[in-house]
Amino acid sequence: MKNLQLLVWLTQLGLSVAVPLAGCVWLSTWLRDTFSLGDWVLWVGVAFGAVCALEGFLSSLRVLDRISTEKKDDPPDVFFNDHA
């Protein structure tokens, strides 16, 4: 179960990096074409998208680290002769 949870977080890591960067580039391209702005809008979008992607990457790494180091408080195993 833990491996499946880590696989889900790995997928989330990829989305947390790719979506902000692609979204900001798409939005800045749309703004440039729609309002006839210069290429500077595209560079601002790339920079902002890179910062957001880096923040998403670091946030996902923090969660993955917390998941991998958390210790479960499972009750001790009860054997046949240990019952009351």
Q: In angstroms, how far is CA 40 from the centroid of its own chain? A: 28
CB 45 within 8 A of CB 24: yes
Q: Judging by beta carbons within 10 Å of its beta carbon (0-12, 13-18, 19+), is residue 24 exposed, middle or buried?
A: buried
pLDDT, tens digit (0-9, with 9 covering 90-100), for 53-81: 999 999 988 988 887 787 666 666 666 66
Q: Taking all residues of the chain, what is their mean pLDDT, rounded to a whole number?
A: 87
Q: pTM (2 decimals)?
A: 0.76
Percent of the chain past pLDDT 70, that is, above it, reads 82
* CB-based contact 28:45 (threshold 8 Å): yes
